[in-house]
Structure 1
Amino acid sequence: MLLTCRTKGPDLNRLACFAAVVETVSFAHAAERLGIPSAVVSLQITRMEQEAKASWLLRATRSVSPTELGRDFFRRCNHIVKEAEDAFDRLSHSTDRPTGTLRATVPPDYGVAMLTPVVTAFRRASPSCSAMLKLGTGSAI
């Protein structure tokens, strides 16, 4: 998962690219995991190394491995990436449950006969919601 947030300071996209390369031991596999072209992964890591004035990966024709500095950096950045992913996962799961107030205005006969059991079941299934039913017709509403 790549984040789309740009801020001053560390680029979480670059950290995610670096972590994926170290975990998969391949630019191509990292790119596949992240859903982006391998050229983008390579460019992100190259830029990150240039900015830091450090080399974190040993590149060979068919393999890539972290330097000693890269292994230490991986442990740190992998923790950051996992924490960011966890935070976004928790945020997305917290919105899985409905919240708020269900409001309905219906004629009395229909509301009592049809909606009361439905709203009662809804409230049991969604305790973080409230319900407000108005029963009435015409100007009485």
Structure 2
Amino acid sequence: MNLDDLAAFAAVAEARSFRGAAYVRGVAASSLSDAVRRLERELDVRLLHRTTRSVTPTAAGQRLLERLTPALREVRGALDAINAEGESPVGSLRLNVPTIVARVLLPPLIGPFLARHPGIRLEVVAEDRLIDVLAAGFDAGVRYDEHLEADMISVRLGPVTQRFAVAGTPAYLERHGVPAHPADLVRHSCIGHRFASGLVAQWSFERGSEVINVAPGSRLLASTLDLELQAALDGVGLIYSFADYLAEPLADGRLVEVLTDWSTAFPGPRLYYADRRQLPAPLRAFVAFLRERHG
């Protein structure tokens, strides 16, 4: 019996979708459908219920999946162990990261990492919605402390701390005044950010024991950082974003930071992954690379 067909069935049954499993495995959905049909013919039993809207395991399919999953994990572990014995790991590494991490923190890391490990193929998916990265077929994710799951292992990916900054152009501040308190923002034109979930980001401030969350009226609401930054540079209003992202226009004077005494540092992002006995070789190499850079 073809091991690839068994792995294809497991991928479809776990994803509850031929298309979703095909995306994770990087193959055509039709090839997975052929593999499952071939397996069902060989076993002479239906393994999946298929409708136009869903794919679910039959009772026999669920029993097979429960026995198959740990067996396939052992096979992958054995192959990874052999891979680890080589001088240079090979294989794919899939990461799910927030857009700010992809925009600011990952670029200085990717070139040196791939140069050191020419046998690794890296895929980075940047999005701000919170998903189960393992169920979605990723090897690891990048999150901030408040979104880290307790049963995961994490390693520092970027700076120890980051902070948010509010900024506007000198011309905008001259016309509208410099806010001295977060409450003053209600009188300003603000550039808001909408997450993929549909939620609009609040602007959070902290000074001493005082914490203030502001939902400023947004003259512009966007879901892309670059659009928000360009609007701020064009004088549309004040922007609230990661200070790292605004570093260049703040340094050259195109933007001026305000409310600096209300800007509080928070822990930087971390790479997190499942506690497994045998990590895939590409992920192990990336973890070692991060620990070497950040100590």
Report the TM-score range of the alignment, normalised by the length of the smaller protein.
0.5 to 0.7
Alpha-carbon distance in structure 1 between the residues aligned to 2:34 and 2:42: 12
Counterparts of 1:17-56 in structure 2, within 5 Å, are 17-56=8-47
For residues 62-118 of structure 1, give each alpha carbon's deviation from its aligned partner in whole angstroms, at most 9, with x where no partner exists: 210001111000011222211111111111011137xxxxxxxxxxxxxxxxxxxxx
1:75 aligned onto 2:70: no
Q: Report the Cα offset of residue 11 of structure 1.
A: 1.1
Distance 1:12 1:75 in 2: 16
Superposition misfits of 4+ residues, deviation over 3 angstroms: none
Alignment-mate amino acid for residue 52 of structure 1: L
TM-score by length of 1: 0.60
Unaligned runs of 5+ in 1: 1-9, 98-141
Q: Per-residue CA shift, 1:31-63, capped at 9, x if unaligned?
A: 111111000000000010011100010001021
Partner of 1:12: 3
CA distance in 2, matches of 1:14, 1:34: 13
Secondary structure of 2:46's aligned partner: coil
Shift in Å, 1:15:
1.0
Counterpart selection for 1:57 from 41, 48, 60: 48
Does the aligned pair in 2 maintain the 1:21–1:27 contact within 8 Å? yes
The aligned residue for residue 144 of structure 2 is none
Q: Displacement, 1:22?
A: 1.1
The higher relative CO (CA closer than 8 Å, separation ≥ 6) is in 2
Higher Rg of the two aligned structures:
1
Deviation string 1:1-54 (CA, Å, 9 cap, x unpaired) is xxxxxxxxx211011101111111100111111111000000000010011100
Tell me how far apart the structure 2 counterparts of residues 50 and 36 of structure 1 sit (CA, whole Å): 22
Q: Which amino acid aligns with 1:55?
A: R
Asked if the contact 1:12/1:81 (under 8 Å) is kept, the reply is no
The equivalent of 1:86 in structure 2 is 77
Q: CA RMSD in A?
A: 1.2
Higher-strand-fraction structure:
2
Q: Corresponding residue for 1:118?
A: none
In 2, Cα distance between equivalents of 1:60 and 1:32:
19
Sequence identity (%) = 34
The residue matched to 2:49 in structure 1 has which SS?
Answer: strand
